Amino acid sequence: MREEIRNDLTWSRSRGAMFQECPRRYWFTYYGAWGGWEAAAPPRVRETYVLKHLQTRWMWVGSLVHQAVERALTHLRAGMAMPESSAQKWALEAMRAGFRESRDRRYRERPKRACGLVEHEYELAVTDDEWREAADHLKTCIAEFYTSPYVAFIPKLPRGSWLPMEELDHFLLDGVKVFVKPDAAWKSGEGTVEIVDWKTGRRDEEADPIQLACYAAFALEKKWAARAEDVTTTEYNLSSGHARETRMTTERLDQVKADIRASIAAMKAMLDDVASNAATESKFPVT
């Protein structure tokens, strides 16, 4: 018998941001779409489940860049070179395949696996030049990774220095799972850890202190480091080549944990029942 999947209250940077931006969108994403993968799901639940997996073309490009960089890093970790041309070819082929999937509405049958773009679902007017602009951005980001210092630096790391990357994991905060997904992490010295977060935005934005502190808390939970001060996080923008390095402090980590606790408390305050994580749509206002 298949084990029942539970809809537990968890927290992540994206979930917290969505709750703050629009509680109703948050409800649709985490409650209204629940069970939409089932064949017998009610039509509205199924429709919500399909729509929650849609991406804009820029979100899609960012995801493809992350996948391409992950493939390159996997090769580098194994001591094998993956030429930039190979990474570019893989990413462009994946982009073409995803475009066809979305254009043909295959995401309607396989919402979680097939590419689904907002531009196709809502028949937005996107010119060929605008699609080419997205492809050019993809190529620019991959090219920037290959000119970054990481390509030369990573193969020189001692065996055993690498820590899990691009894996969804969590740490516990007052019994609530806080999910993180580090892009790359390694031990850089005795008890010190470096974590890199790739950015693909077309503009440099301010550092995200909550996301970076979540990575630090995760590193401490996993015993990668003994103190917050032993964790360094870097946001590297693959569009501009700009790197922003932050050394964590205990005070900053404590403040962010307090902010997360406040966010979780606000989420719980809107529930019908905290123990069962039951939520009613009308209690989550539209922004």
Give me the residue spans of the domains in the chain.
53-154, 157-269
Q: Which of 28-32, 71-75, 199-203 has the lowest mean pLDDT?
A: 199-203
Query: Mean pLDDT over residues 8-27, rounded?
Result: 97
> pLDDT of 105-126, one tens digit each?
999 999 999 999 999 999 999 9
DSSP 8-state secondary structure symbol assigned to residue 273 = B
Residue-level pLDDT at 163:
87
How far are the Cα atoms of 28, 93, 274 from residue 266, in angstroms, in the given order?
17, 43, 12
Distance CA 225, CA 5 (A): 33
Residue-level pLDDT at 253:
95
Residue-level pLDDT at 174:
96
Residue 241 Ramachandran class (φ > 0 left, ψ -120 to 50 alpha, else beta):
left
201: CB partners within 8 A, 6+ apart: 62, 237, 239
Note the Cα 277 to chain centre separation in Å. 24
Residue 104 Ramachandran class (φ > 0 left, ψ -120 to 50 alpha, else beta):
alpha
What are the tokens at 152? 């030369």
> pLDDT of 227-256, one tens digit each?
999 999 999 999 999 999 999 999 999 999
Query: Mean pLDDT over residues 70-78, rounded?
Result: 90
Residue-level pLDDT at 158:
85
What are the tokens at 155? 């193969």
Residue-level pLDDT at 3:
64
At residue 159, does pLDDT exceed 80?
Answer: no
Residue-level pLDDT at 155:
85
Residue-level pLDDT at 2:
57
9: CB partners within 8 A, 6+ apart: 176, 264, 267, 268, 271, 274, 277
Dihedral angle at the C-alpha atoms of 70, 73, 75, 78, nearest 10 degrees? -130
Confidence of residue 190 (pLDDT cuts 50, 70, 90): confident
Query: Mean pLDDT over residues 207-220, rounded?
Result: 90
Query: Mean pLDDT over residues 260-282, rounded?
Result: 98
Residue pair 157/186 in contact by the 8 Å Cβ criterion: yes
Share of the chain above pLDDT 70, in %: 99
243: number of CA atoms within 13 Å, CB side?
A: 13
> pLDDT of 218-234, one tens digit each?
999 999 999 999 999 99
Confidence of residue 49 (pLDDT cuts 50, 70, 90): very high
Residue-level pLDDT at 132:
98
Helix (H, G, I), strand (E, B) or coil at 247: strand
Angle at 59 between CA 106 and CA 203, to 5 degrees: 160
Residue-level pLDDT at 169:
92
Q: Is the pTM of this model over 0.85?
A: yes
At residue 189, does pLDDT exceed 90?
Answer: no
Confidence of residue 62 (pLDDT cuts 50, 70, 90): very high
**Rounded to a whole number, what is the distance in angstroms from the first to the last CA of the chain?**
41
